[in-house]
Structure 1
Amino acid sequence: MTSPLRILLTNNTLALRAGSELFLSDVAQGLLRRGHLPVAYSTTLGDLGEELQSKTIPVIDDLNALQEPPDVIHAQHHLEAMSAMLHFPETPVVYYCHGWLPWQERPVVFPNILTYVAVDDLCRERLLTTPGIASEQIRTLYNFVDLKRYQPRAPLPEQPQSALIFSNQASDQNYAGLIRAACRARGIERVDLIGQSSGNVQPRPEELLPQYDIVFAKARCALEAMAVGCAVVVTEHYGVGGLVTSQNMQQLRRLNFGVRTMQAAPLAEASLVDALSGYNAADASKVSEWIRQEADLEQYLDQLELLYHGAVQQRQGEIVSPDSKFRAAANYLQELAPLVKRQAEVEQRAAGFEQRVQLLEQQLQQLQSQLQERQTEQEQTAQEYAEFRGSIAGRLALKLQRMRLWLTGPRNKGR
């Protein structure tokens, strides 16, 4: 048995139940079960951090809290990663790239990073096109599912009867309506929605997924749904990747059922209907069986342990000059500076816009007050005019009545 390691895992946040956060959670709990000592670090903590704490995994937002240097750093997201690498400058690092688009996934170059891990072929492209990263440093480990949590469901029906939109991005204010319409066109009336944007976050999706025949999802969510045995349509606001079948599952898995796959078709009702038309219960079962063979968390942890121990062994006896670390840190700050400055400019413009909005609101309030005053003045004038007219009419009526009485009175009848 290999010796236990103290592993510091970094992430942009440990608040929301999103992809890399849940990845870290599963890995940390798996490492703990294997006798290792995981510690999770992020400057933004929340519900997920509390959940990890409840599982007896230390969670910190200040690196000074960790009094003993870790044996290895499992680095995700450049701000937290670089903070950890500079705080523990002698610790070897395994650095992860989880995405093509997010700014926090931007790879960094630092002498302590011995291995870069891409979660799919597209992330490998991002690493390969980053100056300073050698191709022999890169490994690709495709994502996993905790098969103990995500148990197989009963066999799918011949015709789908229910669907789930499983996404942190989907809501009835964006593309969920398109999916509902496509499902109705295929005779599927029950369409439910879970995720952050819809306000329906479900901490235990493994309990819900067996209720649905079709799941609309991407990446981790798609993988979990397939492991349960649901038919999966890869989709999000990027587009429609189509129905996962035994013919395309290997290709889609290599791209993590992610953004590149969703360039296949535009996000439109017709694209979704076309994907649904390929539903085949028997084929979905083949997909599920293959995913359960290929994407087991325990097999993944076996590979990850090898990377950790390899990094520790490689670093032993190796001397890295302090100057190279200082230069790497300087290069990082140089690359980061434009991002920070752009953000500062955005905040400045936002502050100026907010001031203009406040000024316009004040002017609007003044105009409303003036309008109210004018309306009050007009109402008073109208009332006074009405009273004035009323008094004239009253006097004229009284005079007319007196004149009528005078004309019809006894004194004037004989004349």
Structure 2
Amino acid sequence: MTGLRVLITNITLAGRTGTEIVVRDLALGLARAGDRPMVYAPRSGPIADALRRAGIPVVNDIAAVPATPDVIHGHHVIQTAVALARYPQVPAVFVCHDREAWHDTPPRLPGVRAWATVSDSFRTRVAADTGLAPEAVQLVLNGVDTDRFQPGPALPPRPRRALAFAKNQGHLDGIRTACARRDISLDVVGAAVGRIVDAPEALLPAYDLVFASALTAIESLACLRAVVVCDGRGLAGMADLPTYEALRHGNFGVGTFTGPVTAGAVGAAIDRYDPVMAVAVGQRLRAEAGLTAWTDRWRAVYAGILASPAGPEDSEARNLALAVHLQTWDPAVAPSSWTAERASLIRTLARLGSGLEPLDPGVSVAATDGDRLALTGFHTPEAWGVWSAQPTCSLRFRPATAFGPGRIRLRLAPFLPAGSPDARLTVTLNGQPLGELSFPGADGAEPRDVWFAVDALDGVTDAWLGFHSTPCRSPVSLGLSADGRRLGFSLIEVAIEPD
């Protein structure tokens, strides 16, 4: 099946964010396969200009799309809905690229016949927003143009030059300190330091070691560089073959982070540098994620939705769905996702000098307290608290003052369906074990308070609590809820109690 007219939507093509790179590579890949990609993005810049030079139409006005598409490849809620309103008979696939951003909310419109994500950790969001089971959300892992990102020279026995990408800054101090201790020269690029790189493919091969996340980590691996997966939100560690599968399915992103980016943790990751392993990981990624294989995966998704039944035409139902969509995203309606994000950004500006809002003495782990805690590996917080979604997850907070010695109190409960084996939960603080809990395999376990003694946290800006579920007698001890979500344990409250 070639010659498909594919309309790709995106919120912008004026920068170099992950979805902008995805749009560029997908459009070029489809064109190489004989298809006719077109792009609709309200704002454009250098990437849009490059696509136009390659003969691919890029328009800022939906009325200027040069031909009726056969299929819509939708990124971002507003732009996908605009395309569906313009072409109500054209089937679409909506692709979620972010676990929290408002613009990645799936539009609930009848023209969307398939849902997809680029990371396992995003499936629960799409499932919750659409009512689908998580397994009904297709996983299409990100690809990389292996012609553009070529292998660099052979890696040395020990790293001499390192490059850190900074879309945020929370990881830079730890990286700088760890590299300085090992006499590794470090360069930093990225929006957070005012140094945007338009052609990373020309820069990456000159480095032995790269600190990056998400699509940039994929690009770095494609150049056969050693990669420590991290950014300002946390650290996953050195990419190697034992961790590759989990990192790849987590898009090398926030869902793979297991701890803070401290100098010690970064140093431990650097010390696992192995040039032979780095090449093996990069070669595997190049074999699996090249542009042709990735484009073919998307073309198979298009074929599937084109072959699926369209359902009865009901213009009244279609009009109602569009009206409800417009009402949902009306800025006058409160709370609206994007207006809530604006309010959150204003709060963020107020606390940039000190990080998270202080936790003193305690806080409920609920949606209203998201500014006090940063959660990884959990489902979206609910009014009462939050459920774990992964076997390993973490919670980051900022003590209000120098803390300790003292105690940390947690209120939590397991979710173990009747007949489940006993389960254990190991708790760590900044990577150091605090203790272990045992949960009996019984249904309806009540919440309980547990206390862990901690030493002083003098000089610590952010504290990371890690939770590691360990089954006792079965490979699976975490239960599935009625809506298909995996639930390990509930976390309801966190408090610090100085002695």
| RMSD of Structure 2 on Structure 1 (CA) | 2.2
Larger Rg: 1
Pairwise CA distance, 1:128? 1.7
Q: Secondary structure at the match of 2:22?
A: helix
1:313 Cα deviation from its structure 2 partner: 2.8
Matches within 5 A, 1:132-211: 132-133=131-132, 135=134, 137-170=136-169, 175-188=171-184, 190-211=185-206
Tell me which residue corresponds to 2:104: 105
- Structure 2 counterpart of 1:64, one-letter code: A
Q: From the two aligned structures, give the one with the greater strand fraction.
A: 2
Aligned to 1:6: 5
Deviation at 1:220, TM superposition (A): 0.5
**1-structure distance, mates of 2:120, 2:207:** 30
> Alpha-carbon deviations, 1:83-136, whole Å to 9, x = none?
111111000001101111221111122111111111110111211222343556
CA deviations on 1:216-254 (whole Å, 9 max, x unpaired) are: 000100011111111111111111111111111111111
Aligned to 1:293: 287
Partners of 1:106 and 1:72 lie apart in 2 by: 20
CA distance in 2, matches of 1:175, 1:232: 15
Quote the residue 1:325 is aligned against: 318
For the residues of structure 2 that align with 1:341 and 1:221, how far apart are their CA atoms? 28
1:304 corresponds to which residue?
298
Give the aligned residue type for 2:326. L
Q: What is the alpha-carbon distance in structure 1 between the residues aligned to residue 172 and residue 285 of structure 2? A: 27
Q: Aligned partners of 2:149 and 2:221: how far apart in 1?
A: 9
CA distance in structure 1 between the aligned counterparts of 2:304 and 2:250, rounded to whole angstroms: 26
Identity over the aligned pairs, expressed in percent? 33
SS at structure 2 position matched to 1:130: helix
Which is worse superposed, 130-139 or 193-202?
130-139
Q: Find the counterpart in structure 1 of residue 234 from structure 2.
A: 239
TM-superposed CA distance for 1:327, in Å, is: 2.9
- 2:328 is the counterpart of 1:335: yes
- The answer as to whether partners of 2:74 and 2:93 remain within 8 angstroms in 1 is yes
CA–CA distance in structure 2, aligned partners of residues 226 and 184 of structure 1: 23
Code of the aligned partner of 1:333:
L
* Residues 14, 48 of structure 1: 8 Å contact kept: yes
Change (3 A) 1:125 1:342: closer
* Conserved? CA contact 2:7–2:71, under 8 Å: yes
Q: Where is the helix percentage greater, Structure 1 or Structure 2?
A: 1
Alpha-carbon distance change, 346 to 203 in structure 1, aligned in 2, over 3 angstroms: closer
In the TM superposition, what are the counterparts of 1:35-184 in structure 2 within 5 Å? 35-66=34-65, 68-133=67-132, 135=134, 137-170=136-169, 175-184=171-180
SS at structure 2 position matched to 1:241 = strand
Q: Give the 3-state SS of the residue equivalent to 1:310 in structure 2.
A: helix
Alignment of 1:216 onto 2:215: no
> Aligned AA for 1:116?
W
Q: Please say if residues 73 and 92 of structure 1, whose CA atoms lie closer than 8 Å, have aligned partners that are also in contact.
A: yes
**Is 336-345 or 234-243 further displaced after alignment?**
336-345
Structure 1: tracts of 5 or more residues without a match: 351-415
- Counterpart CA distance in 2 for 1:215 and 1:179 is 11
Aligned to 2:478: none
SS of 2:235 mapped into structure 1: strand
Cα shift readout 1:19-44 (whole Å, capped 9, x = no counterpart): 00000100001111222111111112
Letter in 2 for 1:278: R
**What TM-score do you get using the length of structure 2 for normalisation?**
0.65
What secondary structure does 2:37 align onto?
A: strand
One-letter code aligned to 1:217:
A
Amino acid at match of 1:311: I
Per the alignment, do residues 339 and 43 of structure 1 end up closer, same or farther by CA in structure 2, a change over 3 Å counting? Answer: farther
- 8 Å CA contact 1:111–1:320 kept in 2: the answer is no
Count of residue pairs brought into register by the alignment: 342
Distance in 2, matches of 1:296 and 1:308, equals 19
Deviates more, 1:190-199 or 1:228-237: 190-199
Q: Structure 2: where are the runs of 5+ without partners?
A: 347-499
